[in-house]
């Protein structure tokens, strides 16, 4: 066996995408200088947890971390998938949404359909919520030819910062290859759906968010339904909080989302939490107003996905067969730009980018990497 040649990368940015693309392209990578100038150098807990998650769903991968955590060697293995009987603990430093994007893409190319339970934080203000992944990411996968059968995300219990306690189960089918898309028509909004949730607080918090959001959206759109999901007991996780996720569906089959979560940031008793301002929580009326305005801003950008899902969209385009995919997004988000750079560096694939002079949107075109699932038997 010859000596392994590692592709050298530096810094902590885009850690999860670098691992994902290294895995899919079978490229051994060496990441150096991980937060060497920071007070707490090296890998964070959620990054180590992501490495362990990749080890769980793959076989024969090799991970080496130096003593300070500032250097990681990663040699990809075989994506096995299958039913994982032991839940993976994502911890509480990042939410489950941080892990879902790379896991969803990785699982599509496994040897066996993947089913795995993830435990941790289901909703926070930093990462997309599990509600958004269920409403947005799964339909995006279907657009690229992923079958509906076996594609599911179940929310067993909610969990918000700081102590989490949530649990979701992800099921993914496998594909031989994705399907290239020509997806440039954002269409017009025809309906809006949403869901509010509350854990260990009064259900009235949800009603207040719904009234506030409707106050902004109803004058513009009549078909609006926002559902509630009040949790108590074990299904409410370990911390009090509440949040809202809104999804606009367009006439061309696009889904645009916005969500946020408010949680109690101190480990105190949860009794008497009805006085939200006393406990340092943003009033639910403000949350409803805020997220409705954020959604309207996302819709105005005229993209086929919202800014949160640009990275997932670009990854799927890049992994398509060697055929042309064309997509349209709003203003490129920092995450979207970083995704394009990672695709260039690890897949040697460049997108052609052309701004639309009439709007703030951007057209992107690329010829896919030609990713195929060689382990799948084709009948």
**How do the domains of the chain map onto residue ranges?**
1-78
Q: How far apart are alpha carbons 356 and 251 in whole angstroms?
A: 21
Q: CATH fold of 1-78, please?
A: Translation Initiation Factor IF3 (3.30.110)
Residue-level pLDDT at 33: 96
Q: Smallest Cα–Cα separation from 347: which of 371, 328, 375, 313?
A: 371
- Residue 159 predicted with pLDDT over 70: yes
Residue-level pLDDT at 2: 64
- Residue 276 predicted with pLDDT over 90: no
Residue-level pLDDT at 345: 95
Residue-level pLDDT at 280: 59
- Residue 278 predicted with pLDDT over 80: no
- Residue 271 predicted with pLDDT over 60: no
Average pLDDT over residues 222-236: 96
Residue-level pLDDT at 201: 93
As a whole-number percent, the residues of the chain with pLDDT over 70 amount to 94
CA distances from 247 to 30, 133, 292, 319 (A): 39, 11, 10, 26
- Residue 274 predicted with pLDDT over 90: no
Query: To the nearest whole number, what is the mean pLDDT of the chain?
Result: 93
pLDDT band at 55 (very low <50, low <70, confident <90, very high): very high
CA distances from 49 to 44, 99, 114, 231 (A): 9, 9, 18, 27
- Residue 22 predicted with pLDDT over 50: yes
What tokens were used for 302?
């005229």
Q: Smallest Cα–Cα separation from 109: which of 378, 342, 374, 377?
A: 374
Residue-level pLDDT at 105: 96
pLDDT band at 282 (very low <50, low <70, confident <90, very high): confident
CA distances from 362 to 107, 250, 328, 374 (A): 29, 18, 6, 34
Average pLDDT over residues 335-339: 97
48 CA to centre of own chain: 18
Residue-level pLDDT at 3: 82
pTM across the whole model: 0.93
Residue-level pLDDT at 375: 67
- Residue 377 predicted with pLDDT over 60: no
What tokens were used for 289?
């107003």
pLDDT band at 360 (very low <50, low <70, confident <90, very high): confident
pLDDT band at 279 (very low <50, low <70, confident <90, very high): low
Residue-level pLDDT at 265: 61
Convert the chain into a string of H (helix), E (strand) and C (coil): CCCCCCEEEECCCCHHHHHHHHHHHCCCEEEECCCCCCCCCCCCHHHHHHHHHHHHHEECCEEEECCCCCCEEEECCEECEEECCCCEECCCCCCHHHHHHHHHHHHHCCCEEEEEEEEECCCCCCCCCHHHHHHHHHHHHHHCCCCCCCCEEEEEECCECCCECEEEEEEECCCCCCCCCEECCCCCEEEEEEEEEEECCCCHHHHHHHHHHHHHHCCCCCCEEEEEEEECHHHHCCCCEEEEEEEEEECCCCEEEEEEEEECCCCCCCCCCCCCCCCCCCCHHHHHHHHHHHHHHHHHCCCCCCHHHHHHHHHHHHCCCCCEEEEEECCCCHHHHHHHHHHHHHHCCCCEEEECCCCCCEEEEEECCCCCCCCCCCC
């Amino acid at each position: 066996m010859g000596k392994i040649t590692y592709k050298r990368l530096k810094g902590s940015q885009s850690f999860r995408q670098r691992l994902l693309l290294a895995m899919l392209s079978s490229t051994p990578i060496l990441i150096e200088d991980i937060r060497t100038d920071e007070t707490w150098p090296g890998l964070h807990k959620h990054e180590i947890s992501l490495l362990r998650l990749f080890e769980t769903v793959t076989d024969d991968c090799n991970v080496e971390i130096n003593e300070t955590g500032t250097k990681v060697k990663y040699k990809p293995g075989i994506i096995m998938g299958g039913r994982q009987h032991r839940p993976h603990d994502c911890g509480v430093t990042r939410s489950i949404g941080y892990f879902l994007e790379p896991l969803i893409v990785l699982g599509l190319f496994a040897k066996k359909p993947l089913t795995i339970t993830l435990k941790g934080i289901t909703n926070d203000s930093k990462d997309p919520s599990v509600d958004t992944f269920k409403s947005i990411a799964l339909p995006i996968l279907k657009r690229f030819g992923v079958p509906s059968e076996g594609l599911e995300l179940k929310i067993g219990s909610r969990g918000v910062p700081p102590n989490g306690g949530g649990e979701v189960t992800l099921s993914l089918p496998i594909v031989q290859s994705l399907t290239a898309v020509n997806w440039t028509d954002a269409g017009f909004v025809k309906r809006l759906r949403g869901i509010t949730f509350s854990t260990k607080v009064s259900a009235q918090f949800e009603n207040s968010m719904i009234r506030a959001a409707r106050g902004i959206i109803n004058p513009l759109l009549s078909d609006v339904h926002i559902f509630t999901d009040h949790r108590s007991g074990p299904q409410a996780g370990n911390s009090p909080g509440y949040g809202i996720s809104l999804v606009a569906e367009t006439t061309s089959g696009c889904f645009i989302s916005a969500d946020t979560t408010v949680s109690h940031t101190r480990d105190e008793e949860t009794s008497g939490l009805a006085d939200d301002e006393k406990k340092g929580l943003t009033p639910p009326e403000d949350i409803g107003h805020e997220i409705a305005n954020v959604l309207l801003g996302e819709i105005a950008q005229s993209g086929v996905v919202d800014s949160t899902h640009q990275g997932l969209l670009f990854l799927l385009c890049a992994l398509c067969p060697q055929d042309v995919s064309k997509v349209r997004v709003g203003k490129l988000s920092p995450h979207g730009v970083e995704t394009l750079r990672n695709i260039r560096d690890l897949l040697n694939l460049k997108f052609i980018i052309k701004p639309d002079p009439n709007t703030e949107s951007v057209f992107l075109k690329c010829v896919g990497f030609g990713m195929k699932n060689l382990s799948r038997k084709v009948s």
